[in-house]
Amino acid sequence: MSACPRGLGGEGCVHAQAPPRLPSEQLRQLQGEYSRCFCSAQPVLEGVGEQPIFTTRAHVFQIDPNTKKNWVPASKQAVTVSYFYDVIRNSYRIISVDGAKVIINSTITPNMTFTKTSQKFGQWADSRANTVFGLGFSSEQQLTKFAEKFQEVKEAARLARDKSQEKIETSSNHSQASSVNGTDDEKASHASPRDTHLKSENNKLKIALTQSAANVKKWEIELQTLRESNARLTTALQESATSVEQWKRQFSICRDENDRLRHKIDELEEQCSEINREKEKNSQLKRRIEELESELREKETTFFLNLIDFREEERKRERDRIIPQLMSECEYVSEKLEAAEKDNQNLEDKVRSLKMDIEESKYRQRHLKVELKNFLEVLDGKIDDLHDFRRGLSKLGTDN
């Protein structure tokens, strides 16, 4: 297993794998799909590797340039969003194409940050494009993979920038040394024109060698990209074969289920026919019951009318029989009432007489109380006299 030439590494890095070969037919089909997706973005993809480093699908949004708060959809549906390596510029880019429209062309710099704002949404700011891109994923797992790849690519961009700065410093030092040595060469050039020609040819050969080395590196990258594509296509083919087997098993299960349901439907239809016959019988019975209920109501009405007439007759006969008895009873009660009134009058007379006797007895009682009081007063006087008389006798006895 070889190390990743782009410095990405990590889980999911396709450059660190030695993929198996894919059938040429499947390879042509998937390469055709890549061509259809990215042919309209040829100016954007100029210098970019044909195969992406990482690809996913998401809904693309851009921040509203006026409010800087609201999100504006950049695509009507989920589109492909990919990481690419730009060989010419030695940089990494996020590119997304919707039909013939390039909706994302963002160069990743080491100071960029990808922020997760929710479980399925993330964003990053591109100062060069003067905007903020937002991606809405269908699952949190896709968002996590995209964020991890963003961090890896950002680190690779930082390493690429450091290497570029080292090359620039090295080339500047080399140019300064060449300029110092050039003064001596100018002096010697007057003496040897042939040496000057040889040096020019030597410089051309060095440039050609450098270009060929760059082309070899580019071809190596393209070869690695094709291997990566081959690995993906092989994986896709294996997944397709697995899916076909699963669909076959599912089809067999569905066919058995269909036969079982068809048999069940036949049984239900037979049961429905029996139910319909039972319903017809029930309808006939219901109509018969309604007829009987109607006859019963008519008979009940006739019975109640006859019963009312009979009761009226009974009440009339009862009145004719009871009225004479009531008249005789009324006469008897009237006589009793008159006798009671007479007795009541006699009792009232007796009550008045008793009241008079009571008043008289009360008067006599008061008179007796007065007389008794007077008698008690006289008696008390007599008793006092007796006490005085006794004391006198006692005194006389004492003196004697």
174 pLDDT tier (thresholds 50, 70, 90):
low
Q: What is the CATH number of the domain that holds 94?
A: 2.30.29.30
Is residue 355's pLDDT more than 50? Answer: yes
Q: Which residue has the higher pLDDT, 348 or 17?
A: 348
Is residue 130's pLDDT more than 60? Answer: yes
CA 211 to chain centre: 61
Provide the mean pLDDT of the chain.
79
DSSP class of residue 372?
H
Is residue 135's pLDDT more than 50? Answer: yes
What is the percentage of the chain residues whose pLDDT exceeds 70? 80
161 pLDDT tier (thresholds 50, 70, 90):
confident
Distance from C-alpha of 12 to C-alpha of 91, rounded to nearest angstrom: 20
Over residues 118-131, the mean pLDDT reads 91
Q: Which residue has the higher pLDDT, 319 or 47?
A: 319
Distance from C-alpha of 64 to C-alpha of 324, rounded to nearest angstrom: 112
Same domain for 255 and 132: no
> Is 376 part of a structural domain of the chain?
no
> Is 383 part of a structural domain of the chain?
no
pLDDT of residue 21: 41
> Is 396 part of a structural domain of the chain?
no
Same domain for 309 and 235: yes
CA 80 to chain centre: 29
pLDDT of residue 10: 39
Residues in Cβ contact with 315 at an 8 Å cutoff, skipping those fewer than 6 apart: none
Residue-wise pLDDT for 328-338, tens only, equals 888 899 888 99
Is residue 27's pLDDT more than 70? Answer: no
Same domain for 156 and 238: no
Measured from the Cβ of residue 11, the count of other Cβ atoms closer than 10 Å reads 9
Distance from C-alpha of 3 to C-alpha of 200, rounded to nearest angstrom: 38
Beta bridge partners of 106: 94
The tally of domains found in the chain comes to: 2
Same domain for 164 and 251: no
Burial call 268-301: b when 16+ CB within 10 Å, e when fewer: eeeeeeeeeeeeeeeeeeeeeeeeeeeeeeeeee
End-to-end CA distance of the chain: 172
> Is 358 part of a structural domain of the chain?
no
**Beta strands 54-63; 79-86: pairing state:** antiparallel
Asked if residues 101 and 44 have their Cβ atoms less than 8 Å apart, the reply is no
Same domain for 233 and 162: no
Comparing 213-222, 265-274, 309-318, 347-356, the range with the smallest average pLDDT is 213-222
Q: Which residue has the higher pLDDT, 400 or 33?
A: 400
Same domain for 128 and 67: yes
Do you know the residue count of the chain?
400
CA 99 to chain centre: 35
Distance from C-alpha of 50 to C-alpha of 218, rounded to nearest angstrom: 12
Same domain for 301 and 210: yes
Residue type, 120: K
Same domain for 220 and 124: no
Residue-wise pLDDT for 99-108, tens only, equals 888 899 999 9
16 pLDDT tier (thresholds 50, 70, 90):
very low
Q: Residues 315, 316, 319, 320: is their CA dihedral positive or negative?
A: negative
Residue type, 20: P
Q: What is the pTM of this model?
A: 0.36
Q: Is 373 helix (H, G, I), strand (E, B) or coil?
A: helix
Asked if residues 75 and 134 have their Cβ atoms less than 8 Å apart, the reply is no
Widest distance between CA atoms in the chain: 210
Owning domain of residue 67: 1-16+23-170
Same domain for 213 and 101: no
Asked if residues 59 and 121 have their Cβ atoms less than 8 Å apart, the reply is no
Structure tokens at 161: 């920038």
> Is 57 part of a structural domain of the chain?
yes
Same domain for 146 and 12: yes
What is the percentage of the chain residues whose pLDDT exceeds 90? 24
